[in-house]
Amino acid sequence: MRKLLATGAIALAALATGAVAIAAGTTEQPPQKKWHFQGPFGTFDRAAAQRGYQVYQEVCAACHSLQLLAYRNLMELGLTENQVKDLIKDITVPDLNDDGQPIDRPARPSDRFKKPFPNQAAAAAANNGKAPPDLSVIVKARADGPNYLHGLLTGYVPYDKLTPEQIKEFAVTKDDNFNKYFPGHKIAMAAPLADDKVTYADGTKATTDQEASDVVEFLAWASEPHMEDRKRTGVRVILFLLALAGFMYAVKRMVWSDKH
Partner 1 sequence: MASSHGTPPVFNNKVVAWIDHRLPIFSYIEKEYHTFPTPRNFNYFWNFGAIATVMLVLMIATGIVLATNYTPHVLMAFDSVERIDRDVPQGWLIRDLHMNGASFFFIAVYIHIFRGMYYGSYKAPRELLWILGVVIFLLMMATAFMGYVLPWGQMSFWGATVITNLFSAIPVVGESIVTWLWGGFAVDNPTLNRFFALHYLLPFVIVAVVALHVVALHIHGSNNPTGIDPKGPQDTVPFHPYYTMKDGFGVMVFLIIYAAFVFFAPDYMGHPDNYIPADPLVTPAHIVPEWYFLPFYAILRAIPDKLGGVLAMFGAIAVLFILPWLDTSRVRSATFRPIYKWFMMVLVVDVIVLGFCGANPPEGFWVPLSQLATLYYFFHFLILLPVLGKIERPLPLPPSIADAVLKKKAV
Binding interface with partner 1 (CB under 8 A): 1, 4-5, 7-8, 11-12, 14-16, 18-23, 25, 40, 68, 73, 133-134, 136-137, 140-143, 145, 183, 223-226, 229-231, 233-235, 237-238, 241-242, 244-245, 248-249, 251-252, 255-256, 259-260
Task: Give 96's strand partners.
Answer: 102
Least distance to partner 1, CB of residue 97, Å: 26
Angle at 154 between CA 124 and CA 165, to 5 degrees: 90
Q: What amino acid occupies position 218? A: F
Q: Which is nearer to partner 1, 55 or 131 (CB)?
A: 131
CB of 140 to partner 1, least distance (A): 4
Of the two residues 41 and 103, which places its CB atom closer to partner 1 in the complex?
41
Kindly tell me which of 94 and 183 has the beta carbon lying closer to partner 1: 183
Question: Shortest distance, CB of residue 131 to partner 1, whole angstroms?
Answer: 10
DSSP 160: G
Q: Give the shortest CB-203-to-partner 1 separation in angstroms.
A: 32
H or E segment and range at residue 94: strand 92-96
Are the C-beta atoms of residues 94 and 103 closer than 8 Å to each other? yes
> Please, what's the b/e burial string for 139-175 (b: 16 or more CB within 10 A of its CB; e: otherwise)?
beeeeebbbbbbbbbbbbbeeeebeeeeeeeeebeee
State the minimum distance, in angstroms, from the CB of residue 75 to partner 1: 14
